[in-house]
Chain A
Amino acid sequence: MNVRLESLSFGYPGGAQALRQVSLEVASGSWLALVGENGAGKTTLAKVICGLLRPDTGRVWVGDWNAQEHSAAQLARRITYVFQNPDDQLFQRTVQAEVSFGPRNLGLPPSEIEERLIQTLEVLQLEGLRSRHPYDLTPTQRKFVALAAADAMRAPLMILDEPTTGLDGPALRLLDGYLARKRQEGRTLIAISHDMDFVAEQFERVVVMAEGKVLADAPAAQVFGAADLLAASHLEAPQLVRLAERLRWPTRPLTVEAFVADLATRRMAEARR
Protein backbone atom coordinates (compact mmCIF):
# COMPACT_ATOMS: atom_id res chain seq x y z
CA MET A 1 0.00 0.00 0.00
CA ASN A 2 1.57 3.23 -1.22
CA VAL A 3 1.32 6.17 1.19
CA ARG A 4 1.94 9.80 0.29
CA LEU A 5 1.98 12.66 2.78
CA GLU A 6 1.78 16.15 1.31
CA SER A 7 2.98 19.02 3.53
CA LEU A 8 1.08 18.01 6.63
CA SER A 9 0.71 20.42 9.50
CA PHE A 10 -1.01 19.76 12.78
CA GLY A 11 -1.26 21.60 16.09
CA TYR A 12 -2.93 20.32 19.25
CA PRO A 13 -5.61 22.73 20.50
CA GLY A 14 -3.90 25.05 22.96
CA GLY A 15 -0.66 23.10 22.61
CA ALA A 16 2.47 23.06 20.55
CA GLN A 17 2.66 22.79 16.77
CA ALA A 18 3.25 19.03 16.48
CA LEU A 19 3.76 18.74 12.71
CA ARG A 20 5.19 21.35 10.35
CA GLN A 21 5.01 20.76 6.60
CA VAL A 22 5.77 17.05 6.67
CA SER A 23 6.02 15.39 3.26
CA LEU A 24 6.91 11.74 2.78
CA GLU A 25 6.30 8.92 0.36
CA VAL A 26 6.29 5.29 1.41
CA ALA A 27 6.32 2.79 -1.46
CA SER A 28 4.21 -0.33 -1.25
CA GLY A 29 6.08 -3.12 0.54
CA SER A 30 8.81 -0.86 1.90
CA TRP A 31 9.80 -0.50 5.56
CA LEU A 32 10.49 2.75 7.28
CA ALA A 33 11.48 3.70 10.82
CA LEU A 34 10.47 7.04 12.33
CA VAL A 35 12.95 8.17 14.96
CA GLY A 36 13.51 11.32 16.99
CA GLU A 37 13.48 12.48 20.58
CA ASN A 38 10.36 12.50 22.76
CA GLY A 39 7.94 15.13 21.52
CA ALA A 40 9.38 15.24 17.96
CA GLY A 41 5.96 14.50 16.43
CA LYS A 42 6.34 10.81 15.55
CA THR A 43 3.19 9.53 17.23
CA THR A 44 1.19 12.52 16.01
CA LEU A 45 2.29 11.76 12.46
CA ALA A 46 1.22 8.11 12.83
CA LYS A 47 -2.18 9.18 14.13
CA VAL A 48 -2.66 11.58 11.22
CA ILE A 49 -1.75 8.86 8.71
CA CYS A 50 -4.34 6.44 10.09
CA GLY A 51 -7.02 9.11 10.39
CA LEU A 52 -7.24 9.32 14.19
CA LEU A 53 -6.21 12.97 13.88
CA ARG A 54 -7.08 15.24 10.97
CA PRO A 55 -4.31 17.49 9.66
CA ASP A 56 -4.81 21.26 9.80
CA THR A 57 -3.33 21.53 6.34
CA GLY A 58 -1.93 19.09 3.80
CA ARG A 59 -3.08 15.75 2.45
CA VAL A 60 -2.68 12.07 3.23
CA TRP A 61 -2.99 9.60 0.37
CA VAL A 62 -3.41 5.95 1.29
CA GLY A 63 -3.22 4.11 -2.00
CA ASP A 64 -5.78 5.87 -4.20
CA TRP A 65 -7.76 7.18 -1.21
CA ASN A 66 -7.56 10.74 -0.01
CA ALA A 67 -7.67 9.99 3.73
CA GLN A 68 -9.71 13.14 4.34
CA GLU A 69 -12.64 11.57 2.50
CA HIS A 70 -12.65 8.41 4.61
CA SER A 71 -13.46 7.74 8.24
CA ALA A 72 -10.90 6.16 10.58
CA ALA A 73 -13.05 3.02 10.48
CA GLN A 74 -12.82 2.86 6.67
CA LEU A 75 -9.10 3.58 6.74
CA ALA A 76 -8.69 0.63 9.12
CA ARG A 77 -9.16 -1.65 6.10
CA ARG A 78 -5.92 -0.31 4.70
CA ILE A 79 -3.95 0.74 7.80
CA THR A 80 -3.61 -0.64 11.30
CA TYR A 81 -1.95 1.28 14.05
CA VAL A 82 -0.62 -0.47 17.14
CA PHE A 83 -0.44 1.93 20.07
CA GLN A 84 2.64 2.39 22.19
CA ASN A 85 0.64 1.55 25.29
CA PRO A 86 -1.54 -1.55 24.77
CA ASP A 87 -3.89 -0.34 27.49
CA ASP A 88 -5.02 2.44 25.11
CA GLN A 89 -6.17 -0.20 22.70
CA LEU A 90 -7.52 -3.22 24.55
CA PHE A 91 -11.14 -3.11 25.62
CA GLN A 92 -12.71 -6.55 25.15
CA ARG A 93 -13.17 -9.16 27.87
CA THR A 94 -11.21 -11.96 26.32
CA VAL A 95 -8.19 -12.23 24.09
CA GLN A 96 -10.35 -14.03 21.55
CA ALA A 97 -12.96 -11.25 21.48
CA GLU A 98 -10.23 -8.64 21.25
CA VAL A 99 -8.50 -10.24 18.28
CA SER A 100 -11.70 -11.02 16.39
CA PHE A 101 -13.25 -7.58 17.04
CA GLY A 102 -11.68 -5.96 13.97
CA PRO A 103 -12.41 -8.76 11.51
CA ARG A 104 -16.00 -8.92 12.80
CA ASN A 105 -16.39 -5.20 12.11
CA LEU A 106 -15.13 -5.77 8.60
CA GLY A 107 -18.22 -7.98 8.19
CA LEU A 108 -16.25 -11.11 7.43
CA PRO A 109 -17.97 -14.53 7.59
CA PRO A 110 -17.48 -16.43 10.89
CA SER A 111 -15.29 -19.09 9.25
CA GLU A 112 -12.90 -16.42 7.98
CA ILE A 113 -12.84 -14.69 11.38
CA GLU A 114 -12.03 -17.98 13.10
CA GLU A 115 -9.30 -18.76 10.60
CA ARG A 116 -7.64 -15.39 11.10
CA LEU A 117 -7.96 -15.75 14.86
CA ILE A 118 -6.28 -19.15 14.91
CA GLN A 119 -3.51 -18.09 12.59
CA THR A 120 -2.72 -14.83 14.37
CA LEU A 121 -2.78 -16.38 17.84
CA GLU A 122 -0.46 -19.12 16.64
CA VAL A 123 2.08 -16.77 15.06
CA LEU A 124 2.24 -14.67 18.23
CA GLN A 125 2.14 -17.70 20.56
CA LEU A 126 -1.07 -16.61 22.28
CA GLU A 127 -3.16 -19.77 21.70
CA GLY A 128 -3.17 -20.70 25.38
CA LEU A 129 -4.53 -17.29 26.38
CA ARG A 130 -7.61 -17.31 24.12
CA SER A 131 -10.22 -17.07 26.85
CA ARG A 132 -8.22 -14.97 29.31
CA HIS A 133 -9.08 -11.35 30.14
CA PRO A 134 -6.45 -9.04 28.63
CA TYR A 135 -6.07 -7.24 31.97
CA ASP A 136 -5.06 -10.47 33.69
CA LEU A 137 -2.07 -10.77 31.38
CA THR A 138 1.46 -9.44 31.82
CA PRO A 139 2.36 -6.15 30.07
CA THR A 140 4.33 -8.11 27.44
CA GLN A 141 1.40 -10.42 26.74
CA ARG A 142 -0.92 -7.42 26.48
CA LYS A 143 1.46 -5.87 23.98
CA PHE A 144 1.29 -9.01 21.85
CA VAL A 145 -2.51 -9.15 22.15
CA ALA A 146 -2.66 -5.58 20.83
CA LEU A 147 -0.37 -6.58 17.98
CA ALA A 148 -2.53 -9.65 17.30
CA ALA A 149 -5.70 -7.53 17.17
CA ALA A 150 -4.03 -5.32 14.56
CA ASP A 151 -2.59 -8.26 12.67
CA ALA A 152 -5.99 -9.92 12.31
CA MET A 153 -7.13 -6.93 10.24
CA ARG A 154 -4.66 -8.06 7.54
CA ALA A 155 -4.29 -4.43 6.46
CA PRO A 156 -1.60 -3.88 3.86
CA LEU A 157 0.03 -1.09 5.94
CA MET A 158 0.95 -1.51 9.59
CA ILE A 159 2.19 1.23 11.88
CA LEU A 160 3.86 0.00 15.07
CA ASP A 161 4.51 2.52 17.85
CA GLU A 162 7.50 1.45 19.99
CA PRO A 163 7.13 -2.30 19.35
CA THR A 164 10.19 -3.34 21.41
CA THR A 165 9.45 -1.35 24.58
CA GLY A 166 9.44 -3.47 27.69
CA LEU A 167 10.06 -6.74 25.87
CA ASP A 168 12.44 -9.29 27.37
CA GLY A 169 14.80 -11.57 25.42
CA PRO A 170 12.32 -14.29 24.39
CA ALA A 171 9.67 -11.69 23.52
CA LEU A 172 12.13 -9.81 21.30
CA ARG A 173 12.90 -13.05 19.45
CA LEU A 174 9.19 -13.67 18.97
CA LEU A 175 8.79 -10.13 17.57
CA ASP A 176 11.75 -10.67 15.22
CA GLY A 177 10.15 -13.85 13.91
CA TYR A 178 6.81 -12.10 13.46
CA LEU A 179 8.41 -9.25 11.53
CA ALA A 180 10.28 -11.67 9.29
CA ARG A 181 6.90 -13.17 8.31
CA LYS A 182 5.42 -9.74 7.60
CA ARG A 183 8.39 -8.96 5.38
CA GLN A 184 7.80 -12.17 3.45
CA GLU A 185 4.13 -11.34 3.06
CA GLY A 186 5.10 -8.00 1.51
CA ARG A 187 3.42 -5.88 4.16
CA THR A 188 4.26 -2.15 4.17
CA LEU A 189 5.49 -1.24 7.63
CA ILE A 190 6.21 1.97 9.50
CA ALA A 191 7.65 1.72 13.00
CA ILE A 192 8.23 4.44 15.56
CA SER A 193 11.12 3.51 17.80
CA HIS A 194 13.69 4.78 20.27
CA ASP A 195 15.45 1.43 20.03
CA MET A 196 18.23 2.24 17.58
CA ASP A 197 19.64 -1.30 17.64
CA PHE A 198 16.26 -2.61 16.52
CA VAL A 199 15.94 0.11 13.87
CA ALA A 200 19.41 -0.62 12.50
CA GLU A 201 18.64 -4.33 12.19
CA GLN A 202 15.17 -4.12 10.70
CA PHE A 203 14.79 -0.97 8.61
CA GLU A 204 16.55 0.04 5.45
CA ARG A 205 15.13 3.56 5.53
CA VAL A 206 15.14 5.91 8.52
CA VAL A 207 13.26 9.20 8.84
CA VAL A 208 14.56 11.47 11.59
CA MET A 209 12.04 13.94 13.03
CA ALA A 210 12.66 16.95 15.24
CA GLU A 211 10.21 19.63 16.35
CA GLY A 212 7.53 18.40 13.99
CA LYS A 213 9.73 18.45 10.91
CA VAL A 214 11.56 15.83 8.87
CA LEU A 215 15.23 16.42 9.60
CA ALA A 216 16.56 13.57 7.47
CA ASP A 217 15.21 10.79 5.28
CA ALA A 218 17.94 8.37 4.26
CA PRO A 219 19.17 4.77 4.33
CA ALA A 220 19.88 3.52 7.87
CA ALA A 221 23.62 3.23 7.21
CA GLN A 222 23.77 6.87 6.20
CA VAL A 223 21.71 8.17 9.14
CA PHE A 224 23.68 6.19 11.72
CA GLY A 225 26.98 7.23 10.16
CA ALA A 226 26.13 10.94 10.46
CA ALA A 227 27.37 11.96 13.90
CA ASP A 228 26.24 15.60 13.52
CA LEU A 229 22.71 14.62 12.58
CA LEU A 230 22.44 12.19 15.52
CA ALA A 231 23.72 14.79 17.97
CA ALA A 232 21.36 17.46 16.60
CA SER A 233 18.38 15.14 17.04
CA HIS A 234 19.53 13.81 20.44
CA LEU A 235 19.83 10.28 19.13
CA GLU A 236 22.48 7.74 19.97
CA ALA A 237 23.94 5.51 17.25
CA PRO A 238 23.25 1.75 17.58
CA GLN A 239 25.64 -0.13 19.86
CA LEU A 240 27.59 -1.80 17.06
CA VAL A 241 28.02 1.47 15.14
CA ARG A 242 29.38 3.13 18.29
CA LEU A 243 31.69 0.18 18.79
CA ALA A 244 33.00 0.31 15.19
CA GLU A 245 33.65 4.05 15.62
CA ARG A 246 35.60 3.50 18.82
CA LEU A 247 37.59 0.71 17.17
CA ARG A 248 38.34 3.18 14.33
CA TRP A 249 36.93 0.90 11.70
CA PRO A 250 35.94 2.55 8.40
CA THR A 251 32.74 0.44 8.33
CA ARG A 252 29.48 1.03 10.21
CA PRO A 253 27.96 -2.44 10.76
CA LEU A 254 24.21 -2.37 11.49
CA THR A 255 23.74 -6.01 12.49
CA VAL A 256 25.59 -8.60 14.57
CA GLU A 257 26.21 -10.59 11.36
CA ALA A 258 27.71 -7.56 9.58
CA PHE A 259 29.87 -6.78 12.59
CA VAL A 260 31.27 -10.30 12.83
CA ALA A 261 31.88 -10.37 9.05
CA ASP A 262 33.83 -7.08 9.27
CA LEU A 263 35.74 -8.43 12.27
CA ALA A 264 36.64 -11.64 10.40
CA THR A 265 37.88 -9.65 7.39
CA ARG A 266 40.07 -7.49 9.61
CA ARG A 267 41.48 -10.47 11.51
CA MET A 268 42.36 -12.18 8.21
CA ALA A 269 44.08 -9.05 6.90
CA GLU A 270 46.04 -8.77 10.16
CA ALA A 271 47.13 -12.41 9.93
CA ARG A 272 48.46 -11.88 6.39
CA ARG A 273 50.56 -8.92 7.50
Chain B
Amino acid sequence: MIELDGVTFTYAGEATPALQQLDLRIGAGELWAVLGPTGAGKSTLCSLLAGFIPHFYRGSLRGKVRVAGIDVPGSSLGEMSEHVGSVFQNPFNQVTGARYTVREEIGFGLENLGVPRPAMLERIERSLALTGLSELAERSPYALSGGQQQRLAIASILALRPKLMILDEPTSQLDPAGTGQVFTLLRDLVSAGETTVVVAEQRLEWVARAADRCLVLQSGTKAAEGTPSDVLSSPEAEGWGLCQSRFSRAARAAVAQGVTPLGRQLPHTLDQAVEYFR
Protein backbone atom coordinates (compact mmCIF):
# COMPACT_ATOMS: atom_id res chain seq x y z
CA MET B 1 0.00 0.00 0.00
CA ILE B 2 2.87 2.36 0.84
CA GLU B 3 6.41 2.29 -0.50
CA LEU B 4 8.92 4.95 0.45
CA ASP B 5 12.52 4.69 -0.65
CA GLY B 6 15.16 7.18 0.41
CA VAL B 7 12.61 9.95 0.90
CA THR B 8 13.97 13.33 1.93
CA PHE B 9 11.75 16.40 2.11
CA THR B 10 12.68 19.95 3.00
CA TYR B 11 9.99 22.63 3.32
CA ALA B 12 10.59 25.72 1.18
CA GLY B 13 12.59 28.27 3.17
CA GLU B 14 13.84 25.73 5.72
CA ALA B 15 17.44 24.61 5.99
CA THR B 16 16.97 21.21 7.63
CA PRO B 17 14.92 18.44 6.05
CA ALA B 18 11.67 17.49 7.82
CA LEU B 19 12.11 13.89 6.62
CA GLN B 20 15.47 12.31 5.86
CA GLN B 21 16.30 9.17 3.91
CA LEU B 22 13.10 7.46 4.98
CA ASP B 23 12.42 3.90 3.81
CA LEU B 24 9.06 2.40 4.66
CA ARG B 25 6.86 -0.49 3.51
CA ILE B 26 3.28 -0.66 4.72
CA GLY B 27 1.13 -3.54 3.49
CA ALA B 28 -2.59 -3.39 2.67
CA GLY B 29 -4.84 -4.18 5.63
CA GLU B 30 -2.46 -3.04 8.36
CA LEU B 31 -2.93 -0.47 11.12
CA TRP B 32 0.23 1.55 11.67
CA ALA B 33 0.93 4.09 14.38
CA VAL B 34 3.48 6.83 13.79
CA LEU B 35 5.13 7.95 17.03
CA GLY B 36 7.64 10.59 17.97
CA PRO B 37 7.90 13.90 19.78
CA THR B 38 6.70 17.20 18.34
CA GLY B 39 8.78 18.16 15.33
CA ALA B 40 9.88 14.58 14.59
CA GLY B 41 8.15 14.60 11.21
CA LYS B 42 4.87 12.81 11.97
CA SER B 43 2.64 15.45 10.38
CA THR B 44 5.03 15.81 7.44
CA LEU B 45 4.81 12.07 6.82
CA CYS B 46 1.00 12.26 6.96
CA SER B 47 1.03 15.14 4.47
CA LEU B 48 3.33 13.16 2.17
CA LEU B 49 1.17 10.03 2.23
CA ALA B 50 -1.97 12.10 1.51
CA GLY B 51 -0.27 13.90 -1.39
CA PHE B 52 -0.31 17.36 0.24
CA ILE B 53 3.43 17.03 -0.20
CA PRO B 54 4.42 17.88 -2.92
CA HIS B 55 1.05 19.03 -4.33
CA PHE B 56 0.17 21.63 -1.71
CA TYR B 57 3.19 22.31 0.51
CA ARG B 58 6.18 23.51 -1.45
CA GLY B 59 9.68 22.27 -0.90
CA SER B 60 12.23 19.84 -2.27
CA LEU B 61 11.27 16.17 -2.39
CA ARG B 62 13.70 13.40 -3.24
CA GLY B 63 13.22 9.64 -3.29
CA LYS B 64 10.42 7.32 -4.32
CA VAL B 65 6.89 7.74 -2.94
CA ARG B 66 4.23 5.25 -4.02
CA VAL B 67 0.87 5.19 -2.22
CA ALA B 68 -2.03 2.91 -3.20
CA GLY B 69 -0.23 2.08 -6.42
CA ILE B 70 0.17 5.73 -7.38
CA ASP B 71 3.45 7.53 -7.92
CA VAL B 72 2.67 10.48 -5.64
CA PRO B 73 4.91 13.20 -7.16
CA GLY B 74 3.64 12.32 -10.65
CA SER B 75 0.01 12.36 -9.54
CA SER B 76 -2.40 15.10 -8.42
CA LEU B 77 -4.36 15.79 -5.24
CA GLY B 78 -7.55 14.97 -7.14
CA GLU B 79 -6.29 11.54 -8.10
CA MET B 80 -4.89 10.90 -4.62
CA SER B 81 -8.17 11.82 -2.96
CA GLU B 82 -9.96 8.98 -4.76
CA HIS B 83 -7.84 6.49 -2.84
CA VAL B 84 -6.55 8.22 0.26
CA GLY B 85 -8.63 9.94 2.93
CA SER B 86 -6.98 12.14 5.52
CA VAL B 87 -8.10 13.57 8.82
CA PHE B 88 -6.17 16.63 9.95
CA GLN B 89 -4.84 17.28 13.41
CA ASN B 90 -7.09 20.29 13.88
CA PRO B 91 -10.70 19.35 13.05
CA PHE B 92 -11.70 23.02 12.96
CA ASN B 93 -9.73 23.30 9.71
CA GLN B 94 -11.50 20.42 8.08
CA VAL B 95 -15.16 21.44 8.02
CA THR B 96 -15.83 22.71 4.50
CA GLY B 97 -18.12 25.55 5.54
CA ALA B 98 -20.05 24.84 2.34
CA ARG B 99 -22.86 22.85 3.95
CA TYR B 100 -25.47 23.55 6.62
CA THR B 101 -25.83 20.23 8.42
CA VAL B 102 -23.63 17.39 9.60
CA ARG B 103 -25.39 15.02 7.17
CA GLU B 104 -24.76 17.33 4.20
CA GLU B 105 -21.16 17.85 5.29
CA ILE B 106 -20.56 14.11 5.16
CA GLY B 107 -22.21 13.99 1.74
CA PHE B 108 -20.04 16.79 0.35
CA GLY B 109 -17.15 14.56 -0.69
CA LEU B 110 -19.51 11.96 -2.14
CA GLU B 111 -21.28 14.58 -4.28
CA ASN B 112 -17.92 15.62 -5.63
CA LEU B 113 -17.13 12.02 -6.53
CA GLY B 114 -20.50 11.73 -8.29
CA VAL B 115 -21.79 8.87 -6.15
CA PRO B 116 -25.45 8.09 -7.06
CA ARG B 117 -27.98 9.37 -4.54
CA PRO B 118 -29.26 6.08 -3.03
CA ALA B 119 -25.71 4.82 -2.48
CA MET B 120 -24.73 8.22 -1.12
CA LEU B 121 -27.52 8.24 1.46
CA GLU B 122 -26.65 4.73 2.56
CA ARG B 123 -22.99 5.61 3.00
CA ILE B 124 -23.83 8.77 4.94
CA GLU B 125 -26.09 6.90 7.37
CA ARG B 126 -23.41 4.24 7.90
CA SER B 127 -20.74 6.87 8.58
CA LEU B 128 -23.03 8.66 11.02
CA ALA B 129 -23.76 5.42 12.85
CA LEU B 130 -20.12 4.27 12.97
CA THR B 131 -18.97 7.57 14.45
CA GLY B 132 -21.91 7.94 16.84
CA LEU B 133 -23.17 11.13 15.16
CA SER B 134 -26.63 9.94 14.06
CA GLU B 135 -28.40 12.09 16.64
CA LEU B 136 -26.49 15.21 15.54
CA ALA B 137 -27.12 14.73 11.80
CA GLU B 138 -29.27 17.85 11.46
CA ARG B 139 -27.00 20.15 13.49
CA SER B 140 -24.78 22.76 11.93
CA PRO B 141 -21.15 21.57 11.82
CA TYR B 142 -20.27 24.79 13.64
CA ALA B 143 -22.60 24.00 16.55
CA LEU B 144 -20.54 20.92 17.43
CA SER B 145 -18.01 20.66 20.23
CA GLY B 146 -14.34 20.03 19.40
CA GLY B 147 -14.72 16.31 19.93
CA GLN B 148 -17.85 16.11 17.82
CA GLN B 149 -16.16 18.01 14.98
CA GLN B 150 -13.31 15.55 15.15
CA ARG B 151 -15.74 12.66 14.75
CA LEU B 152 -17.40 14.51 11.86
CA ALA B 153 -14.03 14.81 10.12
CA ILE B 154 -13.57 11.06 10.47
CA ALA B 155 -17.14 10.35 9.30
CA SER B 156 -16.64 12.48 6.18
CA ILE B 157 -13.57 10.47 5.24
CA LEU B 158 -15.15 7.10 6.07
CA ALA B 159 -18.00 7.81 3.68
CA LEU B 160 -15.48 8.06 0.83
CA ARG B 161 -14.34 4.48 1.53
CA PRO B 162 -10.68 5.20 0.96
CA LYS B 163 -8.19 2.37 0.48
CA LEU B 164 -5.92 4.20 2.87
CA MET B 165 -6.83 6.45 5.79
CA ILE B 166 -4.26 8.90 7.16
CA LEU B 167 -5.13 10.38 10.54
CA ASP B 168 -2.96 12.98 12.24
CA GLU B 169 -3.70 12.83 15.98
CA PRO B 170 -7.38 12.20 15.36
CA THR B 171 -8.35 12.05 19.02
CA SER B 172 -6.68 15.21 20.31
CA GLN B 173 -10.05 16.81 21.16
CA LEU B 174 -11.89 13.66 22.21
CA ASP B 175 -12.94 12.50 25.64
CA PRO B 176 -11.65 9.09 26.78
CA ALA B 177 -14.81 7.30 25.64
CA GLY B 178 -14.61 9.00 22.24
CA THR B 179 -10.92 8.11 21.91
CA GLY B 180 -11.73 4.48 22.64
CA GLN B 181 -14.53 4.50 20.05
CA VAL B 182 -12.27 5.93 17.35
CA PHE B 183 -9.51 3.38 17.90
CA THR B 184 -11.99 0.52 18.14
CA LEU B 185 -13.60 1.70 14.92
CA LEU B 186 -10.26 1.96 13.10
CA ARG B 187 -9.24 -1.49 14.36
CA ASP B 188 -12.57 -2.98 13.23
CA LEU B 189 -12.36 -1.40 9.77
CA VAL B 190 -8.84 -2.70 9.26
CA SER B 191 -9.66 -6.15 10.63
CA ALA B 192 -12.67 -6.35 8.30
CA GLY B 193 -10.32 -5.67 5.40
CA GLU B 194 -12.04 -2.38 4.52
CA THR B 195 -9.02 -0.11 4.63
CA THR B 196 -5.42 0.44 5.68
CA VAL B 197 -4.71 2.97 8.42
CA VAL B 198 -1.75 5.16 9.29
CA VAL B 199 -2.31 7.20 12.43
CA ALA B 200 0.03 9.68 14.13
CA GLU B 201 -0.74 9.43 17.82
CA GLN B 202 0.58 10.40 21.25
CA ARG B 203 -1.52 8.09 23.42
CA LEU B 204 0.58 4.99 23.73
CA GLU B 205 -2.00 2.96 25.60
CA TRP B 206 -4.24 3.01 22.53
CA VAL B 207 -1.37 2.47 20.14
CA ALA B 208 -0.36 -0.64 22.10
CA ARG B 209 -3.95 -1.89 22.09
CA ALA B 210 -4.87 -1.24 18.48
CA ALA B 211 -1.85 -1.00 16.17
CA ASP B 212 -0.26 -3.85 14.20
CA ARG B 213 3.00 -1.98 13.72
CA CYS B 214 4.66 1.23 14.89
CA LEU B 215 7.09 3.60 13.27
CA VAL B 216 9.10 5.91 15.54
CA LEU B 217 10.44 9.11 14.03
CA GLN B 218 13.20 11.27 15.49
CA SER B 219 14.24 14.48 13.73
CA GLY B 220 12.80 13.22 10.47
CA THR B 221 14.55 9.87 10.47
CA LYS B 222 13.37 6.40 11.37
CA ALA B 223 14.41 5.53 14.94
CA ALA B 224 12.56 2.23 15.15
CA GLU B 225 9.94 0.07 13.51
CA GLY B 226 8.14 -3.05 14.75
CA THR B 227 5.24 -4.34 16.83
CA PRO B 228 4.01 -1.96 19.56
CA SER B 229 5.35 -4.24 22.33
CA ASP B 230 8.82 -4.48 20.84
CA VAL B 231 9.08 -0.81 20.00
CA LEU B 232 7.66 0.57 23.25
CA SER B 233 9.72 -1.79 25.40
CA SER B 234 12.96 -0.97 23.67
CA PRO B 235 15.64 0.27 26.06
CA GLU B 236 15.92 3.34 23.83
CA ALA B 237 12.22 4.21 24.15
CA GLU B 238 12.74 6.63 27.02
CA GLY B 239 14.94 8.85 24.89
CA TRP B 240 12.34 9.17 22.14
CA GLY B 241 10.23 11.80 23.91
CA LEU B 242 7.04 9.73 23.81
CA CYS B 243 4.30 10.11 26.42
CA GLN B 244 4.84 6.96 28.43
CA SER B 245 1.75 5.29 29.85
CA ARG B 246 1.39 5.29 33.65
CA PHE B 247 1.70 1.50 33.43
CA SER B 248 5.24 1.64 32.09
CA ARG B 249 6.14 4.58 34.34
CA ALA B 250 4.96 2.64 37.40
CA ALA B 251 6.94 -0.40 36.23
CA ARG B 252 10.10 1.69 35.78
CA ALA B 253 9.64 3.30 39.21
CA ALA B 254 9.02 -0.09 40.85
CA VAL B 255 12.19 -1.50 39.27
CA ALA B 256 14.19 1.57 40.33
CA GLN B 257 13.01 1.12 43.93
CA GLY B 258 13.76 -2.59 43.90
CA VAL B 259 10.10 -3.56 44.38
CA THR B 260 9.96 -5.39 41.03
CA PRO B 261 12.80 -7.40 39.48
CA LEU B 262 14.72 -6.02 36.52
CA GLY B 263 14.71 -7.32 32.99
CA ARG B 264 11.03 -7.98 32.27
CA GLN B 265 9.23 -6.44 29.30
CA LEU B 266 7.55 -3.20 30.36
CA PRO B 267 3.72 -3.09 30.26
CA HIS B 268 1.90 -0.66 27.94
CA THR B 269 -1.69 -1.86 28.15
CA LEU B 270 -3.90 -2.66 31.12
CA ASP B 271 -3.74 -6.40 30.39
CA GLN B 272 0.05 -6.32 30.19
CA ALA B 273 0.21 -4.33 33.44
CA VAL B 274 -2.07 -6.78 35.28
CA GLU B 275 0.25 -9.59 34.18
CA TYR B 276 3.34 -7.56 35.15
CA PHE B 277 2.23 -6.57 38.67
CA ARG B 278 0.23 -9.67 39.58
C-alpha spacing A144/B199, complex, angstroms:
24
Q: Which residues of A contact B259 (CB under 8 A)?
A: 260, 263-264, 267
Q: Which residue of A lies closest to B36 (CB)?
A: A168
Contact of A85 among B146, B178, B205, B254 (CB under 8 A): B146
A133 vs chain B, min Cβ distance (A): 12
Is there contact, CB below 8 Å, between B246 and A197?
yes
Proximity bits, A46-65, B CB within 8 Å = 1, else 0: 00000000000000000000
B229: Cβ under 8 A from any A Cβ = no
Is there contact, CB below 8 Å, between A263 and B277?
yes
Proximity bits, B246-278, A CB within 8 Å = 1, else 0: 110110011001011000000000100110011
B17: Cβ under 8 A from any A Cβ = no
Is there contact, CB below 8 Å, between A239 and B274?
no
Is there contact, CB below 8 Å, between B246 and A167?
no
- Size category of the A interface is 35 or more
A257: Cβ under 8 A from any B Cβ = yes
- Size category of the B interface is 35 or more
B243: Cβ under 8 A from any A Cβ = yes
Which residues of B in the span 29-85 have a Cβ within 8 Å of any Cβ on A? 36-39
Is there contact, CB below 8 Å, between A171 and B38?
yes
B21: Cβ under 8 A from any A Cβ = no
Is there contact, CB below 8 Å, between B145 and A38?
yes
A132: Cβ under 8 A from any B Cβ = no
Is there contact, CB below 8 Å, between A167 and B274?
no
Q: Which residues of A contact B254 (CB under 8 A)?
A: 260, 263-264
Is there contact, CB below 8 Å, between B176 and A236?
yes
Contact of B241 among A36, A169, A267 (CB under 8 A): A169
A15: Cβ under 8 A from any B Cβ = yes
Q: Which residues of B contact A87 (CB under 8 A)?
A: 90, 92
Which residues of B in the span 163-201 have a Cβ within 8 Å of any Cβ on A? 169, 172-180
Is there contact, CB below 8 Å, between A168 and B277?
no
C-alpha spacing A260/B247, complex, angstroms:
11
Q: Which residues of B contact A138 (CB under 8 A)?
A: 38-39
Q: Which residues of A contact B89 (CB under 8 A)?
A: 139, 166
B258 vs chain A, min Cβ distance (A): 9
Q: Which residue of B lies closest to A196 (CB)?
A: B176
* Complex interface: stretch among A146-154, A215-223, A242-250: A242-250
B147: Cβ under 8 A from any A Cβ = yes
Proximity bits, A136-179, B CB within 8 Å = 1, else 0: 00111100000000000000000000100111111110000000
**A-B contacts besides A139-B89, A168-B242, A240-B250, 13 pairs, CB < 8 Å:** A37-B175, A38-B146, A38-B173, A38-B178, A39-B147, A140-B38, A141-B38, A166-B172, A169-B241, A170-B37, A194-B174, A235-B176, A243-B270
A-B contact pairs, 27 of them (CB 8 A): A12-B143, A37-B147, A38-B174, A39-B145, A43-B145, A84-B146, A139-B38, A162-B173, A168-B36, A169-B243, A170-B37, A172-B243, A234-B175, A236-B180, A238-B246, A243-B247, A243-B273, A246-B270, A247-B274, A256-B250, A260-B250, A260-B254, A260-B259, A263-B250, A263-B254, A264-B257, A267-B259
Q: Which B residues fall within an 8 A CB radius of A? A: 36-39, 89-90, 92, 143, 145-148, 169, 172-180, 202, 205, 240-247, 249-250, 253-254, 257, 259-260, 270, 273-274, 277-278
